[in-house]
Amino acid sequence: MKYLLLFASYLFICPALKAQDQAIQLSGNAQGTTYHITYIDPLHRNFEQDIALLLAHFDSSLSTYLPNSIISRVNANDKKVRLDSLFITCFNKGKEVWRSTEGAFDPTVYPIVNAWGFGPGKKQFLDSALVDSILKFVGFELISIQKNKVVKKDPRVALDFNAFAQGFSVDVVARFLKSKGVFSFLVEIGGEVYASGKKADASLWTVGIEQPFDNKEGHNEIKAIVSMHNLAMATSGNYRRYTEIKGVKYAHHIDPHTGYPTQNNLLSASVFAADCISADAYATGLLVMGLEKSMIFLKAHSELQAYLIYSDEKGNFQVFQTPGLNTILAATE
């Protein structure tokens, strides 16, 4: 999937493990980013090659950077392409979140994302006329799956699952580990995380949420630490991927309603959910919505918890968090 959005999470892994339950740690590169996986397996199996193959297969379905992937062939209107379960899962989740967020999250925003230079396509010089012309074929109502085939109302409609496929890849790896009888693990891919069970010393896995300072490389200071148990977290922010045009900063999150990068005071949204695909998708949707609409949305969706960092009128960081985080979150300040 994409030149992936590398959103901020830093892992704190306890080294004090019993010898007989020594955690296995895997790390590597995938999907344009890095991954770190820690798991406790009584059989001491090494799943490094299995996971590498799993992630490669994932890209062969969902990466817009691979011309022969399923999603690239769908976007090219290849009539012979066969959809797989990965693509269909992302499509259905995308449609669900699109409806729930009233279009703030929309995978058909891909053509305008490319035009702004945030995808594999060539960056274009954008003016209001070009933006308006592209918006004519942006909208999830223009595409559907019928009898296991993608049907478009306009052939120019194109999909981009990058805003939440990374979270889905975390779920895929987590599902694989569970299928092997491994239930204590922490999977992190590009900052999106799922924690299952506990560490060998019976303590909870912990994950950090960064301060949203502009920083395309490296880690920022940690704003808060979260204790996680059978929980997913994804963070969406405008401080990792952005571009500057004539001295003006433009974040990579595009508002599907306007065709322009979002302009609001919400700097990062960390969402907690039962699965990482949901957390990732809704984190993106909230960032597009902005602070006020996000607060209203979260009040109506108790299945989600969120930690929102925003800028006040004086430019200072402020935080809004949902009540469900009170027992698992510790501020570092």
Task: Check residue 132 and give its pLDDT.
Answer: 92
Q: In one letter, which amino acid is 293? A: K
Q: What is the pLDDT of residues 277-327, one digit of tens each?
A: 999 999 999 999 999 999 999 999 999 999 999 989 888 999 999 999 999
Tell me how far the alpha carbon of residue 304 is from its chain's centroid. 15
Structure tokens at 305: 């918890």
Torsion angle in degrees (nearest 10) through CA of 140, 141, 143, 149:
110
Q: Which residues pair with 226 in a beta bridge?
A: 207, 329
Residue 277 lies inside a defined structural domain of this protein? no
Q: In one letter, which amino acid is 197? A: G
Structure tokens at 247: 């001295």
Task: Check residue 300 and give its pLDDT.
Answer: 97
**Residue 2 near residue 63, CB atoms below 8 Å:** yes
Q: What is the pLDDT of residues 166-196, one digit of tens each?
A: 999 999 999 999 999 999 999 999 999 999 9
Q: What is the tally of helices (H) and strands (E) in the chain? A: 8, 16
Q: 129 is in which domain, residue-wise?
A: 71-161
Task: Check residue 3 and give its pLDDT.
Answer: 33
**Residue 295 near residue 307, CB atoms below 8 Å:** no
Q: Return the closest-CA partner of residue 291 out of 323, 264, 318, 262.
A: 264
Q: What's the domain count of the chain? A: 1
Sign of the Cα pseudo-torsion (78, 80, 84, 89, in order): positive
Q: Tell me which residues of the chain have a pLDDT lower than 70.
A: 1-21, 119-126, 213-220, 239-252, 331-333
Task: Check residue 145 and give its pLDDT.
Answer: 97
Q: In one letter, which amino acid is 66? A: L
Q: Which residues pair with 222 in a beta bridge?
A: 210
What gap in Å lies between CA 137 and CA 110, rounded to an integer?
Answer: 10
Task: Check residue 285 and give its pLDDT.
Answer: 96
Residue 247 lies inside a defined structural domain of this protein? no
Task: Check residue 156 and give its pLDDT.
Answer: 97
Which residues are CB-neighbours of 21 under 8 A, at least 6 positions away? 40, 42, 200
CATH number for the domain that contains residue 115? 1.10.3980.10
Structure tokens at 331: 């501020």
Task: Check residue 128 and give its pLDDT.
Answer: 85
Residue 142 lies inside a defined structural domain of this protein? yes
Residue 291 lies inside a defined structural domain of this protein? no
Residue 92 lies inside a defined structural domain of this protein? yes
- Cα–Cα distance list, 147 to 66, 108, 129 (Å): 25, 20, 37
Q: Which residues pair with 188 in a beta bridge?
A: 36, 193
Task: Check residue 251 and give its pLDDT.
Answer: 57
What gap in Å lies between CA 285 and CA 297, rounded to an integer?
Answer: 10
What gap in Å lies between CA 31 and CA 200, rounded to an integer?
Answer: 30
Structure tokens at 26: 């895997």
**Residue 63 near residue 1, CB atoms below 8 Å:** yes
Neighbours of 202 (CB within 10 A): 9
Residue 281 lies inside a defined structural domain of this protein? no
**Residue 287 near residue 238, CB atoms below 8 Å:** yes
Residue 37 lies inside a defined structural domain of this protein? no
Task: Check residue 250 and give its pLDDT.
Answer: 52
3-state secondary structure of 186: strand
Residue 323 lies inside a defined structural domain of this protein? no
Which residues are CB-neighbours of 28 under 8 A, at least 6 positions away? 34, 35, 48, 52
Enter the pTM of the model.
0.88
3-state secondary structure of 10: strand
